[in-house]
Amino acid sequence: MVKEGYSELIAVEGTGTKSSEGNRIMGRPSSLDWRERVIPACEAGEESQAALARGFPVSETAVSCWSGLAREDGRREPKAHGRGLPSVLDEADGAVLTALVGQRNDATLEE
């Protein structure tokens, strides 16, 4: 059961780990808005973390991590994205790759 007033947000925002039907969704980050609502509710201690996770569109793990970070580091916002590994290709390599793809862009992985 989603907390009253949140079902519209879930349907509009869709960034939580549960759909409005309660199905798990993977691969999308939870919004800062959910952190701003879940952490104070967790700090109030009126419900367990599991109950909060069921009431908001987030996982129990997210509730636990967010509340732990807020308690230990005072941090309520997510870390900046690391941007992945740097490319091993330089500009010349990129130009060669672009030219090859331009010549034959229909090749499959097997080819």
Give CB contacts under 8 A, 24+ apart, made by 30-38: 30/57, 30/58, 30/62, 32/77, 32/78, 33/9, 34/58, 34/62, 35/66, 35/76, 35/77, 35/78, 36/76, 38/62, 38/63, 38/66, 38/67
- Specify if 60 maps to a domain: yes
Tracing tokens 């759909």 back to the chain, one arrives at: 19
- Specify if 99 maps to a domain: no
Per-residue model confidence (pLDDT) at position 17: 47
Per-residue model confidence (pLDDT) at position 84: 79
Domain count for the chain, please give it: 1
* Whole-number Å distance between alpha carbons of 30 and 35: 8
- Specify if 42 maps to a domain: yes
- Specify if 85 maps to a domain: no
Flag whether pLDDT at 1 surpasses 50. no
What predicted TM-score, i.e. pTM, was given to this entire model?
A: 0.48
- Specify if 98 maps to a domain: no
Give the CA angle between residues 98, 101, 102 to the nearest 5°. Answer: 85
- Candidates 55, 26, 32, 31; CA nearest to 42 is 55
Q: Which two tokens stand for residue 83?
A: 């941007």
Could you tell me the residue range of the domain that residue 41 belongs to?
Answer: 7-72
Per-residue model confidence (pLDDT) at position 48: 92
Distance, first Cα to last Cα, the chain: 51
Banded model confidence at residue 24, pLDDT cuts 50, 70, 90: low
The mean predicted confidence, pLDDT, of the chain is 75
Residues 6+ apart with CB under 8 A from 69: 75, 76
- Specify if 49 maps to a domain: yes
- Specify if 87 maps to a domain: no
- Specify if 65 maps to a domain: yes
Flag whether pLDDT at 15 surpasses 50. no
> What tens digit of pLDDT does each residue of 72-99 get?
988 888 777 777 788 888 889 888 888 8
In the chain, what percentage of residues exceed pLDDT 90?
Answer: 10
